[in-house]
Structure 1
Amino acid sequence: MLTSTSLVDVDPADVRLQDALDAVADPVRRSIVRELSTEPDFTCACGALDLQVAKATASHHFAVLRAAGLLEQVDLGRRRFNRLRRAEFDARFPGLLALVLAEEAPPIGG
């Protein structure tokens, strides 16, 4: 049986600029944001992304993005699905997400 639980998500309106900048400063987190921008809401599970980092490290990156108001996550069964909070984040930090999404992705591991 699948159960759905929502995690506590941070409203981007409550996020400081420094925290938003820190969240997108890491190349792994920027790759997560870029990947989620191409997927419909809540269709991409955390484990579906090929991040080439340890599971604990990936969990940390998702937590940082959620704490910065960039992600909303929901648990369905044993999987955690994501939504990029584009409209909400853009309202708080106009143009910042567009810069991240426009960046050419470097090769993973390089």
Structure 2
Amino acid sequence: MKARATKESGSVLRERQARPRPERLDRVVHDRTRLALLAALAASETLSFTDLKTITGTTDGNLSVHARRLEDAGYVLCEKTFAGRTPRTEYRLSAAGRRAFEKYLDHMDALIKATRKK
């Protein structure tokens, strides 16, 4: 009987370890504003600072801070140019950013499925 309890305990432990866990979410991606930025960039090849500001409904300051955080993580690439005297900032998703975004979506999907099974 003791061997069976150990076997059941082991399978319960493996099941628990296999479950998606919220604490394993990428904190860089999980922020609401950064998630919105990544989602917008995943749907477009490039977007300007102004485009992202309009899409996310955020302020210049907030957008700058969150875009920089994504840049620092290697998830977003930023290119600054000038059109005459007008500065233009363009953002695009890096390969690492696309992988992180897709991993995040897969993790969220698994969390949702695990929760709905109960």
Normalised by the length of structure 1, the TM-score is 0.60
Between the aligned partners of 1:53 and 1:34, the Cα distance in structure 2 is 15
Between the aligned partners of 2:97 and 2:65, the Cα distance in structure 1 is 20
5 Å matches for 1:35-74?
A: 35-40=40-45, 43-49=46-52, 50=54, 51-74=56-79
Between the aligned partners of 1:48 and 1:84, the Cα distance in structure 2 is 14
Between the aligned partners of 2:42 and 2:105, the Cα distance in structure 1 is 8
What's the C-alpha RMSD, in Å, of the aligned pairs? 2.5
Change (3 A) 1:89 1:36: closer
Between the aligned partners of 2:48 and 2:79, the Cα distance in structure 1 is 9
The answer as to 2:107 corresponding to 1:98 is no
Change (3 A) 1:101 1:56: same
Structure showing greater radius of gyration is 2
The answer as to 2:83 corresponding to 1:80 is no
Secondary structure in 1 matching 2:26? helix
Moved over 2 A (4+): 99-104
Q: Is the 8 A contact 1:30 1:100 kept in 2?
A: no
Paired letter, 1:35: A
Paired letter, 2:88: R
Between the aligned partners of 1:101 and 1:48, the Cα distance in structure 2 is 23
- Higher share in helix: 2
- Which 5+ residue runs of structure 2 have no aligned equivalent? 1-24, 110-118
Paired letter, 2:102: A
Q: Is the 8 A contact 2:26 2:104 kept in 1?
A: no
Normalised by the length of structure 2, the TM-score is 0.56
Change (3 A) 1:101 1:38: farther
2:22 aligns to what? Answer: none
What displacement does 1:23 show?
A: 1.4
What displacement does 1:22 show?
A: 2.5
